[in-house]
């Protein structure tokens, strides 16, 4: 995972330099302290998927290209076999599997997300990103916090929300939860 973080960080630095953008300017656009942004770009800190999504939007590149280093090539359809999506292990709490990383010009980013149970009384890690998000729980029980509102979802439940508000997920009942997340 550390090597993947360093590769993504290098791609971000390259995009920033090609775009003739300073680290300070990009940190402001991302609404991040400069020190935090520099730790991401240097590969010293894990980069939240929400920040990666924002960077991809700022530089008008596909999120998949930022994550894998390869531009998506498919234009008509893309098949992802069970368990074969592009793996994105950004944080120990979440495992993201991209379900359309090789499809060009997507209007949405679909992910299969597995959330491991947190320690008892652990706070929900929050993030935000532009757009909207749809979550559909496939199995387990998931607590989702959106703008300080807690929603408990069980298998078959779904939630659609404005993802510019701070939000986060946590698996409940001491068991992993798996859900489909689509970011628009």
Residues 49 and 90 sit within 8 Å (Cβ to Cβ): yes
Please give the Cα distance from 117 to 98 (Å, whole number): 21
| pLDDT of residue 161 exceeding 80 | yes
Residues 67 and 52 sit within 8 Å (Cβ to Cβ): yes
| pLDDT of residue 81 exceeding 80 | yes
pLDDT at 6: 87
**Maximum separation of any 2 CA atoms in the chain, in Å:** 48
pLDDT at 41: 92
Give the domains, in start order, of the chain with CATH numbers.
Answer: 2-68 (1.10.260.40), 86-183 (2.60.120.10)
Looking at per-residue pLDDT, the higher value among 78 and 87 belongs to: 78
Do you know the residue count of the chain? Answer: 184
Token pair 């757009």 in the structure block, residue: 131
Please give the Cα distance from 150 to 148 (Å, whole number): 7
CA-only gyration radius of the chain, Å: 16
Per-residue pLDDT tens over the stretch 26-49: 999 998 999 999 999 998 887 877
Per-residue pLDDT tens over the stretch 88-142: 655 566 788 889 888 888 888 899 999 988 877 888 888 888 789 999 999 999 9
Instruction: Give the pLDDT mean for 138-152.
Output: 96
Burial class (CB in 10 A: 0-12, 13-18, 19+), 131: middle
Q: Residues with Cβ < 8 Å from 31, sequence gap 6 or more?
A: none
Instruction: Give the pLDDT mean for 54-68.
Output: 87
Q: What is the mean pLDDT of the chain?
A: 88
- pTM score: 0.75
Instruction: Give the pLDDT mean for 140-149.
Output: 96
pLDDT at 167: 93
Backbone angles phi, psi at 31, to 5 degrees: 60, 45
């Amino acid at each position: 995972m550390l090597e993947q973080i360093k590769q993504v960080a290098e791609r971000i630095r390259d995009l920033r330099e090609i775009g003739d953008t300073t680290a300070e300017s990009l940190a402001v656009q991302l609404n991040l302290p400069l020190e935090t942004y520099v730790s991401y770009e240097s590969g010293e800190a894990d980069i939240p998927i929400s920040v990666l999504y924002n960077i991809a939007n700022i530089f008008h590149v596909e999120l998949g290209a930022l994550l894998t280093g390869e531009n998506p090539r498919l234009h008509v359809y893309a098949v992802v076999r069970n368990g074969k999506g592009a793996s994105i292990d950004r944080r120990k709490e979440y495992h993201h599997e991209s379900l359309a990383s090789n499809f060009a010009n997507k209007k949405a980013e679909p992910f299969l997300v597995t959330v491991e149970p947190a320690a008892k009384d652990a706070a929900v890690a929050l993030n935000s990103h532009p757009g909207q998000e749809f979550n559909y729980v496939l199995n387990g029980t998931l607590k989702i916090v959106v703008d300080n509102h807690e929603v408990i979802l069980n298998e078959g439940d779904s939630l659609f929300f404005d993802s510019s508000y701070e939000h986060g997920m946590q698996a409940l009942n001491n068991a992993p939860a798996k859900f489909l997340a689509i970011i628009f």
